[in-house]
Structure 1
Protein backbone atom coordinates (compact mmCIF):
# COMPACT_ATOMS: atom_id res chain seq x y z
CA UNK A 1 0.00 0.00 0.00
CA UNK A 2 1.42 3.38 -1.01
CA UNK A 3 1.75 5.96 1.72
CA UNK A 4 -0.51 9.00 1.46
CA UNK A 5 1.31 12.06 0.16
CA UNK A 6 2.36 14.77 2.64
CA UNK A 7 -0.35 16.99 1.13
CA UNK A 8 -2.99 14.31 1.73
CA UNK A 9 -1.78 13.77 5.28
CA UNK A 10 -1.92 17.50 6.05
CA UNK A 11 -5.40 17.83 4.52
CA UNK A 12 -6.81 14.81 6.37
CA UNK A 13 -5.26 15.89 9.69
CA UNK A 14 -6.51 19.47 9.31
CA UNK A 15 -10.09 18.52 8.41
CA UNK A 16 -10.32 15.77 11.02
CA UNK A 17 -8.88 18.07 13.71
CA UNK A 18 -11.40 20.82 12.87
CA UNK A 19 -14.27 18.37 13.23
CA UNK A 20 -12.82 16.90 16.43
CA UNK A 21 -12.25 20.27 18.13
CA UNK A 22 -15.70 21.58 17.17
CA UNK A 23 -17.53 18.51 18.45
CA UNK A 24 -15.38 17.60 21.45
CA UNK A 25 -15.54 21.01 23.14
CA UNK A 26 -19.22 21.45 22.33
CA UNK A 27 -19.87 18.07 23.97
CA UNK A 28 -17.65 19.01 26.92
CA UNK A 29 -19.40 22.36 27.43
CA UNK A 30 -22.86 20.80 27.25
CA UNK A 31 -21.79 18.00 29.64
CA UNK A 32 -22.81 15.24 27.26
CA UNK A 33 -21.16 11.79 27.38
CA UNK A 34 -17.54 11.87 26.19
CA UNK A 35 -16.98 8.12 25.77
CA UNK A 36 -17.55 8.12 21.96
CA UNK A 37 -14.46 10.34 21.53
CA UNK A 38 -12.03 7.83 23.08
CA UNK A 39 -10.25 4.69 21.88
CA UNK A 40 -12.15 2.65 24.46
CA UNK A 41 -15.22 3.08 22.19
CA UNK A 42 -13.54 0.81 19.61
CA UNK A 43 -13.64 -2.95 20.27
CA UNK A 44 -10.79 -3.45 17.79
CA UNK A 45 -8.52 -0.95 19.51
CA UNK A 46 -9.47 -2.26 22.95
CA UNK A 47 -8.78 -5.86 21.89
CA UNK A 48 -5.35 -4.72 20.65
CA UNK A 49 -4.59 -3.29 24.11
CA UNK A 50 -5.09 0.38 23.25
CA UNK A 51 -6.31 2.26 26.33
CA UNK A 52 -6.77 6.04 26.44
CA UNK A 53 -4.04 7.82 28.39
CA UNK A 54 -5.72 10.80 30.12
CA UNK A 55 -3.71 13.32 32.16
CA UNK A 56 -5.40 16.38 33.68
CA UNK A 57 -2.98 18.85 35.31
CA UNK A 58 -0.63 15.96 36.02
CA UNK A 59 -3.34 13.69 37.45
CA UNK A 60 -3.41 10.45 35.43
CA UNK A 61 -6.94 9.09 35.15
CA UNK A 62 -7.67 5.39 34.56
CA UNK A 63 -10.73 5.81 32.34
CA UNK A 64 -13.09 8.17 30.55
CA UNK A 65 -15.65 7.70 33.34
CA UNK A 66 -13.03 8.86 35.87
CA UNK A 67 -12.46 11.96 33.72
CA UNK A 68 -16.20 12.64 33.59
CA UNK A 69 -16.41 12.26 37.38
CA UNK A 70 -13.58 14.78 37.74
CA UNK A 71 -15.44 17.18 35.45
CA UNK A 72 -18.57 16.79 37.60
CA UNK A 73 -16.55 17.65 40.71
CA UNK A 74 -14.97 20.60 38.93
CA UNK A 75 -18.34 21.97 37.83
CA UNK A 76 -19.69 21.59 41.35
CA UNK A 77 -17.19 24.08 42.69
CA UNK A 78 -14.24 21.83 43.56
CA UNK A 79 -12.00 21.14 40.66
CA UNK A 80 -8.67 21.64 42.39
CA UNK A 81 -7.29 18.61 40.60
CA UNK A 82 -8.74 19.69 37.29
CA UNK A 83 -7.53 23.19 36.91
CA UNK A 84 -8.65 25.30 39.82
CA UNK A 85 -11.66 26.03 41.91
CA UNK A 86 -14.99 26.92 40.46
CA UNK A 87 -17.29 29.59 41.78
CA UNK A 88 -19.01 28.32 44.89
CA UNK A 89 -22.47 27.03 44.14
CA UNK A 90 -21.87 27.18 40.40
CA UNK A 91 -22.45 24.21 38.18
CA UNK A 92 -20.98 25.67 35.02
CA UNK A 93 -17.60 25.29 33.34
CA UNK A 94 -17.02 26.51 29.79
CA UNK A 95 -14.06 25.80 27.51
CA UNK A 96 -13.49 28.49 24.89
CA UNK A 97 -11.03 27.43 22.17
CA UNK A 98 -8.84 30.24 20.85
CA UNK A 99 -6.71 28.22 18.43
CA UNK A 100 -5.62 24.73 17.49
CA UNK A 101 -3.01 23.09 15.32
CA UNK A 102 -2.83 19.59 13.82
CA UNK A 103 0.13 17.51 12.68
CA UNK A 104 0.22 14.05 11.06
CA UNK A 105 2.11 11.54 13.21
CA UNK A 106 1.88 8.14 11.51
CA UNK A 107 0.62 7.94 7.92
CA UNK A 108 -0.42 4.28 8.31
CA UNK A 109 -1.53 3.44 11.84
CA UNK A 110 -1.91 -0.36 12.04
CA UNK A 111 -2.87 -1.32 15.61
CA UNK A 112 -6.25 -3.08 15.58
CA UNK A 113 -6.54 -2.56 11.81
CA UNK A 114 -9.20 -4.69 10.07
CA UNK A 115 -7.95 -7.50 7.89
CA UNK A 116 -8.11 -7.77 4.08
CA UNK A 117 -11.58 -6.91 2.73
CA UNK A 118 -12.63 -4.56 5.52
CA UNK A 119 -9.29 -2.78 5.37
CA UNK A 120 -9.47 -2.46 1.59
CA UNK A 121 -12.38 -0.06 1.96
CA UNK A 122 -10.22 2.45 3.87
CA UNK A 123 -9.13 5.34 1.65
CA UNK A 124 -5.73 6.96 1.39
CA UNK A 125 -5.11 9.04 4.49
CA UNK A 126 -7.82 7.30 6.51
CA UNK A 127 -5.26 5.23 8.45
CA UNK A 128 -3.54 8.40 9.63
CA UNK A 129 -2.85 9.17 13.28
CA UNK A 130 -2.38 12.83 14.15
CA UNK A 131 -1.67 15.19 17.04
CA UNK A 132 -3.86 18.17 17.93
CA UNK A 133 -2.65 21.05 20.11
CA UNK A 134 -5.43 23.27 21.51
CA UNK A 135 -5.23 26.51 23.48
CA UNK A 136 -7.96 28.64 24.95
CA UNK A 137 -9.62 29.81 28.16
CA UNK A 138 -11.62 27.77 30.67
CA UNK A 139 -14.22 29.70 32.67
CA UNK A 140 -15.58 28.48 36.00
CA UNK A 141 -18.96 29.97 36.99
CA UNK A 142 -21.81 31.74 35.24
CA UNK A 143 -21.23 35.23 36.61
CA UNK A 144 -20.87 38.27 34.42
CA UNK A 145 -18.77 41.15 35.59
CA UNK A 146 -20.83 44.32 35.86
CA UNK A 147 -18.37 47.20 35.52
CA UNK A 148 -21.04 49.67 36.65
CA UNK A 149 -21.24 47.98 40.07
CA UNK A 150 -17.65 46.81 40.40
CA UNK A 151 -15.83 48.93 42.94
CA UNK A 152 -19.04 50.70 43.94
CA UNK A 153 -20.03 48.38 46.73
CA UNK A 154 -21.50 45.88 44.30
CA UNK A 155 -20.31 42.33 43.86
CA UNK A 156 -19.27 42.61 40.23
CA UNK A 157 -15.82 41.08 40.85
CA UNK A 158 -17.31 38.24 42.91
CA UNK A 159 -19.76 37.45 40.15
CA UNK A 160 -17.14 37.35 37.40
CA UNK A 161 -16.26 33.80 36.32
CA UNK A 162 -12.80 32.58 37.23
CA UNK A 163 -10.83 32.37 33.98
CA UNK A 164 -7.69 30.36 33.30
CA UNK A 165 -5.78 29.85 30.06
CA UNK A 166 -5.39 26.21 29.08
CA UNK A 167 -3.37 24.07 26.72
CA UNK A 168 -4.48 20.61 25.70
CA UNK A 169 -2.72 18.05 23.53
CA UNK A 170 -4.37 15.02 21.93
CA UNK A 171 -3.25 12.07 19.84
CA UNK A 172 -6.00 10.60 17.67
CA UNK A 173 -6.06 7.34 15.72
CA UNK A 174 -8.59 5.74 13.35
CA UNK A 175 -11.75 4.30 14.88
CA UNK A 176 -11.78 1.17 12.73
CA UNK A 177 -15.46 0.35 13.23
CA UNK A 178 -16.41 3.80 11.92
CA UNK A 179 -14.62 3.09 8.63
CA UNK A 180 -16.29 -0.28 8.06
CA UNK A 181 -18.99 -0.81 5.44
CA UNK A 182 -22.46 -0.25 6.93
CA UNK A 183 -20.94 1.28 10.06
CA UNK A 184 -23.41 2.45 12.71
CA UNK A 185 -24.24 6.13 12.43
CA UNK A 186 -22.70 8.58 14.83
CA UNK A 187 -19.32 6.90 15.35
CA UNK A 188 -16.35 9.28 15.50
CA UNK A 189 -13.89 8.48 12.68
CA UNK A 190 -10.88 9.26 14.87
CA UNK A 191 -10.63 8.64 18.61
CA UNK A 192 -8.36 9.82 21.42
CA UNK A 193 -5.51 7.61 22.61
CA UNK A 194 -3.70 10.34 24.54
CA UNK A 195 -4.92 13.56 26.20
CA UNK A 196 -2.86 15.98 28.28
CA UNK A 197 -4.67 19.00 29.76
CA UNK A 198 -2.98 21.88 31.58
CA UNK A 199 -4.70 24.95 33.05
CA UNK A 200 -2.11 27.71 33.38
Structure 2
Protein backbone atom coordinates (compact mmCIF):
# COMPACT_ATOMS: atom_id res chain seq x y z
CA UNK A 1 0.00 0.00 0.00
CA UNK A 2 1.50 3.32 -1.06
CA UNK A 3 1.30 6.17 1.40
CA UNK A 4 0.07 9.55 0.17
CA UNK A 5 2.77 11.97 -0.97
CA UNK A 6 3.52 15.06 1.11
CA UNK A 7 1.58 17.42 -1.16
CA UNK A 8 -1.53 15.23 -0.97
CA UNK A 9 -1.18 14.94 2.82
CA UNK A 10 -0.92 18.70 3.27
CA UNK A 11 -3.88 19.37 0.97
CA UNK A 12 -6.05 16.84 2.81
CA UNK A 13 -5.05 18.11 6.25
CA UNK A 14 -5.44 21.76 5.28
CA UNK A 15 -8.94 21.28 3.89
CA UNK A 16 -10.05 19.05 6.78
CA UNK A 17 -8.70 21.49 9.39
CA UNK A 18 -10.39 24.48 7.72
CA UNK A 19 -13.69 22.60 7.66
CA UNK A 20 -13.29 21.49 11.28
CA UNK A 21 -12.36 24.95 12.63
CA UNK A 22 -15.16 26.71 10.72
CA UNK A 23 -17.79 24.15 11.73
CA UNK A 24 -16.78 23.63 15.36
CA UNK A 25 -16.55 27.28 16.38
CA UNK A 26 -19.76 28.11 14.47
CA UNK A 27 -21.49 25.35 16.46
CA UNK A 28 -20.11 26.77 19.72
CA UNK A 29 -21.16 30.31 18.85
CA UNK A 30 -24.67 29.17 17.89
CA UNK A 31 -24.86 26.96 21.00
CA UNK A 32 -25.42 23.80 18.97
CA UNK A 33 -24.63 20.30 20.14
CA UNK A 34 -20.94 19.56 19.47
CA UNK A 35 -20.96 15.83 20.27
CA UNK A 36 -20.81 14.89 16.55
CA UNK A 37 -17.27 16.29 16.45
CA UNK A 38 -15.90 13.68 18.89
CA UNK A 39 -14.69 10.08 18.52
CA UNK A 40 -17.55 8.77 20.65
CA UNK A 41 -19.76 9.02 17.53
CA UNK A 42 -17.76 6.22 15.86
CA UNK A 43 -18.63 2.68 16.95
CA UNK A 44 -15.46 1.38 15.30
CA UNK A 45 -13.24 3.79 17.22
CA UNK A 46 -14.98 3.24 20.56
CA UNK A 47 -14.86 -0.56 20.05
CA UNK A 48 -11.10 -0.16 19.59
CA UNK A 49 -10.91 1.77 22.89
CA UNK A 50 -10.52 5.23 21.33
CA UNK A 51 -12.31 7.89 23.38
CA UNK A 52 -11.79 11.65 23.47
CA UNK A 53 -9.40 13.10 26.01
CA UNK A 54 -10.78 16.57 26.82
CA UNK A 55 -9.08 19.16 29.02
CA UNK A 56 -10.52 22.66 29.65
CA UNK A 57 -8.21 25.08 31.48
CA UNK A 58 -6.39 22.19 33.09
CA UNK A 59 -9.54 20.32 34.18
CA UNK A 60 -9.57 16.84 32.65
CA UNK A 61 -13.11 15.97 31.57
CA UNK A 62 -12.49 12.62 29.95
CA UNK A 63 -14.69 11.87 26.93
CA UNK A 64 -17.67 14.08 27.87
CA UNK A 65 -18.27 16.46 24.94
CA UNK A 66 -21.45 17.88 26.51
CA UNK A 67 -19.58 18.93 29.66
CA UNK A 68 -16.88 20.53 27.47
CA UNK A 69 -19.50 22.56 25.60
CA UNK A 70 -21.18 23.52 28.87
CA UNK A 71 -17.87 24.81 30.25
CA UNK A 72 -16.95 26.63 27.06
CA UNK A 73 -20.33 28.27 26.45
CA UNK A 74 -23.31 27.60 28.68
CA UNK A 75 -21.70 28.23 32.07
CA UNK A 76 -20.40 31.64 30.89
CA UNK A 77 -23.74 33.36 30.32
CA UNK A 78 -25.86 34.09 27.28
CA UNK A 79 -23.36 36.13 25.25
CA UNK A 80 -20.27 34.05 24.56
CA UNK A 81 -18.56 34.35 21.20
CA UNK A 82 -15.38 32.69 19.90
CA UNK A 83 -13.31 34.40 17.21
CA UNK A 84 -10.57 32.34 15.62
CA UNK A 85 -7.52 34.47 14.89
CA UNK A 86 -5.41 31.76 13.29
CA UNK A 87 -4.93 28.02 13.10
CA UNK A 88 -2.26 25.63 11.91
CA UNK A 89 -2.52 21.95 11.05
CA UNK A 90 -0.01 19.15 10.51
CA UNK A 91 -0.27 15.47 9.62
CA UNK A 92 0.57 13.23 12.57
CA UNK A 93 0.14 9.73 11.18
CA UNK A 94 -0.51 9.16 7.48
CA UNK A 95 -1.52 5.55 8.08
CA UNK A 96 -3.74 5.75 11.16
CA UNK A 97 -5.50 2.40 11.38
CA UNK A 98 -7.00 2.03 14.88
CA UNK A 99 -10.52 0.71 14.45
CA UNK A 100 -10.27 0.63 10.65
CA UNK A 101 -11.24 -2.22 8.40
CA UNK A 102 -8.68 -3.17 5.78
CA UNK A 103 -10.94 -1.71 3.08
CA UNK A 104 -13.90 0.63 3.09
CA UNK A 105 -17.44 -0.24 2.07
CA UNK A 106 -16.62 0.14 -1.67
CA UNK A 107 -13.73 -2.32 -1.47
CA UNK A 108 -11.10 0.31 -2.26
CA UNK A 109 -8.07 1.06 -0.17
CA UNK A 110 -8.72 3.99 2.19
CA UNK A 111 -5.16 5.28 2.16
CA UNK A 112 -5.29 5.86 -1.60
CA UNK A 113 -7.72 8.74 -0.90
CA UNK A 114 -5.79 10.15 2.08
CA UNK A 115 -8.55 8.98 4.41
CA UNK A 116 -6.21 7.37 6.96
CA UNK A 117 -4.45 10.59 7.99
CA UNK A 118 -4.63 11.76 11.59
CA UNK A 119 -3.64 15.36 12.20
CA UNK A 120 -3.05 18.01 14.84
CA UNK A 121 -4.67 21.45 14.79
CA UNK A 122 -3.51 24.42 16.86
CA UNK A 123 -6.04 27.28 17.15
CA UNK A 124 -5.65 30.70 18.71
CA UNK A 125 -8.14 33.50 19.03
CA UNK A 126 -10.31 35.49 21.41
CA UNK A 127 -13.37 34.56 23.41
CA UNK A 128 -15.75 37.33 24.36
CA UNK A 129 -18.04 37.08 27.37
CA UNK A 130 -20.97 39.52 27.55
CA UNK A 131 -21.71 42.44 25.24
CA UNK A 132 -19.13 45.05 24.34
CA UNK A 133 -19.62 48.27 26.27
CA UNK A 134 -21.67 46.64 29.04
CA UNK A 135 -20.66 45.84 32.61
CA UNK A 136 -19.15 42.40 32.87
CA UNK A 137 -17.80 42.36 29.31
CA UNK A 138 -14.57 40.40 29.17
CA UNK A 139 -12.36 39.41 26.26
CA UNK A 140 -9.69 36.76 26.73
CA UNK A 141 -7.20 35.17 24.40
CA UNK A 142 -7.45 31.40 24.03
CA UNK A 143 -5.45 28.59 22.53
CA UNK A 144 -6.72 25.17 21.70
CA UNK A 145 -4.89 22.06 20.57
CA UNK A 146 -6.74 19.24 18.81
CA UNK A 147 -5.91 15.78 17.52
CA UNK A 148 -8.31 14.43 14.91
CA UNK A 149 -8.50 10.92 13.45
CA UNK A 150 -10.56 9.40 10.65
CA UNK A 151 -14.20 8.61 11.40
CA UNK A 152 -14.35 5.27 9.61
CA UNK A 153 -18.13 5.18 9.24
CA UNK A 154 -18.02 8.55 7.41
CA UNK A 155 -15.49 7.46 4.77
CA UNK A 156 -16.39 6.38 1.26
CA UNK A 157 -19.19 7.19 -1.17
CA UNK A 158 -21.79 5.00 0.61
CA UNK A 159 -21.24 6.62 4.01
CA UNK A 160 -24.29 8.01 5.82
CA UNK A 161 -24.83 11.72 5.30
CA UNK A 162 -24.09 14.21 8.03
CA UNK A 163 -21.16 12.44 9.71
CA UNK A 164 -17.90 14.32 10.33
CA UNK A 165 -15.05 12.75 8.29
CA UNK A 166 -12.53 13.38 11.08
CA UNK A 167 -13.31 13.33 14.81
CA UNK A 168 -11.61 14.60 17.95
CA UNK A 169 -9.57 12.26 20.15
CA UNK A 170 -7.80 15.00 22.06
CA UNK A 171 -8.80 18.56 22.95
CA UNK A 172 -6.86 20.91 25.17
CA UNK A 173 -8.41 24.37 25.68
CA UNK A 174 -6.73 27.14 27.61
CA UNK A 175 -8.04 30.68 28.13
CA UNK A 176 -5.13 33.02 28.76
TM-score (norm 1): 0.81
Please tell me whether residue 188 in structure 1 is matched to residue 164 in structure 2: yes
Q: 1:144 aligns with which of 127, 132, 139?
A: 132
Aligned to 2:142, the other structure's residue is in SS state strand
The runs of 5 or more residues in structure 1 that have no matched partner are 77-90, 146-155
- Tell me by how many angstroms 1:114 deviates: 1.8
Q: Distance in 2 between matches of 1:115 and 1:106?
A: 17
Per the alignment, residue 23 of structure 1 pairs with 23
Which of 116, 125, 128 is the equivalent residue of 2:114?
Answer: 125
Query: Partner residue of 1:51?
Result: 51
Q: Contact between 1:133 and 1:170, CA under 8 Å: does it hold in 2?
A: yes
Tell me the residue number matched to 1:115.
102
Larger proportion of strand:
2
Number of equivalent positions: 173
Deviations 1:68-114 (A, max 9, x none): 332455223xxxxxxxxxxxxxx121110000000000001000002
TM-score by length of 2: 0.92
Cα distance in 2, alignment partners of residues 124 and 117 from structure 1: 11
Identify the residue that residue 12 of structure 1 maps to in structure 2: 12
Instruction: Tell me if the contact between 1:3 and 1:124 (Cα under 8 Å) persists in the aligned partners.
Output: no
Larger deviation, residues 2-11 vs 176-185: 176-185
- Is 1:175 the counterpart of 2:151? The answer is yes
Give unmatched runs, 5+ long, in structure 2: none
Tell me the C-alpha RMSD between the 2 structures.
Answer: 1.6
Q: How has the CA–CA distance of structure 1 residues 138 and 117 changed in structure 2, closer, same or farther, with 3 Å as cutoff? A: closer
1:99/1:136 contact within 8 Å kept: yes
Deviation at 1:125, TM superposition (A): 1.3
The CA deviation string for residues 121-143 of structure 1, in whole angstroms up to 9 with x for no partner, is 524311100000000000011x2
* Superposition deviation, residue 52 in structure 1: 0.2
Task: Tell me the residue number matched to 1:67.
Answer: 68
Equivalents in 1 of 2:61, 2:104: separation in Å? 36
- In structure 1, what is the Cα distance between the partners aligned to 2:68 and 2:104? 36
Runs of at least 4 residues of structure 1 off by over 6 A? none
1:178 Cα deviation from its structure 2 partner: 0.3
